[in-house]
Chain A
Amino acid sequence: MKFTLIYPKWKKLRGQTEFHLPPHGPVVFAATLPRNVEITFIDENLETIDFNDRADLIGISMMLTSQVKRGWEIAEEYRRRGMKVICGGIATMLHAEETSLHADAVFLGEAEGRMEQVLDDFRNNRLRKVYDYRTDFPPITCVGTARRDILKRQLYSYKGIQMVDLFHASRGCRFDCYPCCMSFVGGREFRPRPFEKVVEELTTIDNNRLYIVDNSLSQDTTWEKQLFREMIPLKKKWCCHPIDDDDEVLDLAAQAGAWFVYQAIFETSEFIRNRVKRYHDFGIGVEGTILLGLDRHTEDSIRRLINFLLEIELDLAEFTVLTPFPYTRAFSDLQGEGRILSYNWNDYTCDQVVFQPKQMSPERLQQLYDEAWKTFYREKSQPYRMFELFERVIDKEIADGSFQRKPRTRASRKFGRGEM
C-alpha cells in the first residue's frame, strides 16, 4: 500500500532567521503505520508536491493553525484527482469541523494502535468521516521510535550544518498556560515514556544535536532527574522547554547536554531575571519566547520589557504577538469579548495582530512588535547571537569529544537545494 504523507507549508515568523527543522509529528505518526505500508513523505516547506504522483491514500499532517488552509487546498487537489485524503495532527484537532469539510476523513487524537483499523476501513471502502480519540489516550508504552527514515535528510541542513532532530520523552502537560492549547490536545495528565524506550530511540538518532519538544520538562522532578541521568552517557546536546529551578536538576541537565532552553517571557520580573541567571550559572543558554499583547501590556511596559531582556543578557529572543488559537483560554476570553478581528487562519502566524488589544490599537501593537525585534538585535545582531549559541554547543562537544567537523565540500549548500 502506498501512503503519501504531506506536511503543508506555512509562512515563517517575520523577523526571525529562516530555518527548517525535520518535523516531529509526521515521523511519530509514521511509526504508527504497519511496516508494510510504503510511505512517501513530502515537506512542502522544502519540496514541491507533484499531484500527479499516485498513492492509495494521502495523509496530511498539520501542526500549526497557519498550515490548515494550505492543507485543505492540498486535500481538495488530491480529491479532485480521485485520491482519498485523511488529515491528522494538532492543528486538525483544533480545526476539526472545518477540516472535515475538505477531507475524506479526519483523525483526532493520538494514533498509536489505531491505524490498522483505519487502514482496514479504507481498504474495505468504509472509511469513517471522523475518528475521534481526543479523550482516549493510548498507553504511553505504545509510543514507538519515530520513523526518521522517511525524512529526506539532505533537506534539513544549512551550509553543511545538520539541523537539530526533534524528540519527545513525554506527552501531556499539567500546566494550562493562557495562550497554549496543549492541555486540550494532549490532556493535563503528565505521561512520561518508559526510560528504556527513550534511550532506545535516542540511540537511533544519527544526530548529536536535538530539540526535546516535550511541553515542559518541569513536570515531575524525580522523573526529570532520572531522564537526565539516562541521557548523560549518550553525549547528546539539546535544547528544550523549561527545566526545574533546582541545583541538582540543573547540574544533571548540564551534564546530560543541555544547550539552551526556550523560556516564555511575558513581563519584567525578578523571577525571570533569576531564572535566566540560574540557567547561565549552569552553562545553559536561554532563548526567550516573548509574548506581546496581553491585556496588561501598555506601550511603556512593552518598551520596558525589551530593555529588560537586554539587561538580563538573554541569549536570543523570539518575539510573538498574542494569538488566540482555538481551545485556549486566550481564545475564550477574546472571543467572548468580541475582540477577535480575523478568523483567517493564515494570519495566525504569531507575528500579526488578529485581535483588539486592550491598551492600544492593533496597528500600534504591530509597530511595537517590529520595534522589539529591531531594538533587541541592534547592538548584537541575530546572526552574531546565533553564532554565540553555536560556539556554546561546539565548546561542549569539544569538551566531551563528540564534536564532528562538517565536511568542507558541503559548505555552500542552502536549505532544500543541496545534494546528498
Chain B
Amino acid sequence: MIEDLILKLKKEIIEELNVENMTPEEVDADAPIFGEEGLGLDSIDALELVVLLDKNYGIKIQASKEGPKIFRSVKTIAEYILEHQKK
C-alpha cells in the first residue's frame, strides 16, 4: 500500500510543484526532498507541499520540530500520511 501512495505522491509533487525534467520513476523515495541530491525542492516548494498535503490528504503540517522528519523524503511523507490517516 505504501508503494502505491509513494508513486501517487511523486506524481502529485512533480505535477503540482512544477518539478522540471524528472519522472516519478527517477525520484528516489528515500532521497532528501530538499537540496540537489534528490528532488531539489526549495523553501517555496515546501510551502506548496504543505498546501498539497492539506488539499489532497486533509493533513495540516505546520513547520515545527517534527517538520524536518516528515519532510525528509517522499517515503517519510507517505509514512506520515498513512500514520495520520489511521488515527
Contacts and interface: CB of A to CB of B under 8 A. Distances in A.
Given A381-B34, A384-B34, A412 B43 contact: no
B18 A387 contact: no
Contacts of B20: 412
B48 interface: yes
Interface stretch (B3-11, B22-30, B61-69, B77-85): B61-69
Interface string A313-333: 000000000000000000000
A383 B43 contact: yes
Interface string A363-394: 00000000000000001111111111111001
Given A383-B35, A412-B18, A390 B71 contact: no
A390 B43 contact: yes
B47 interface: yes
B41 A383 contact: yes
Nearest to A385: B43
How many interface residues does chain A have, given as a range?
A: 20 to 34
A235 B59 CA distance: 30
Interface in A129-157: none
Contact of B34 (A161, A383, A394, A412): A383
Given A381-B34, A383-B35, A384-B68, A159 B44 contact: yes
A117 interface: no
A390 B50 CA distance: 12
B46 interface: yes
A159 B47 CA distance: 11
B44 A390 contact: yes
Nearest to A391: B63
A49 interface: no
A362 B56 CA distance: 52
A360 interface: no
A387 B47 contact: yes
B61 to A, nearest CB: 10
Contact of A384 (B44, B48, B62, B67): B67
Contacts of B43: 17, 383-387, 389-390
Contacts of A379: 68
A390 B71 CA distance: 16
B54 interface: no
A140 B71 CA distance: 49
Nearest to B49: A387
Secondary structure call for the B interface? mixed
B47 A388 contact: no
Contacts of A380: 68
A387 B63 contact: yes
A411 interface: yes
Contacts of B18: 411-412
B21 to A, nearest CB: 12
A394 B18 CA distance: 22
Contacts of B67: 384, 388
A167 interface: no
A387 B46 contact: yes
A388 B46 CA distance: 9
A381 B47 contact: no
A348 interface: no
Residue among A158, A380, A387, A412 with the most chain B CB within 10 A? A387
Contacts of A389: 43
A159 B42 CA distance: 10
A289 B23 CA distance: 39
A384 B47 CA distance: 10
Contacts of A385: 43
A330 to B, nearest CB: 33
Contacts of A384: 34, 43, 46, 63, 67-68, 71
20 contacts: A159-B42, A161-B44, A379-B68, A383-B34, A383-B35, A383-B45, A384-B43, A384-B63, A384-B68, A385-B43, A386-B43, A387-B43, A387-B46, A387-B47, A390-B43, A390-B44, A391-B62, A411-B17, A411-B18, A412-B20
Interface of A: 17, 158-161, 379-391, 394, 411-412
Interface of B: 17-18, 20, 32, 34-35, 41-48, 50, 62-63, 67-68, 71
The 10 closest A-B pairs by CB, nearest first: A386-B43, A387-B46, A388-B63, A412-B18, A387-B43, A383-B34, A159-B44, A381-B34, A391-B63, A383-B42
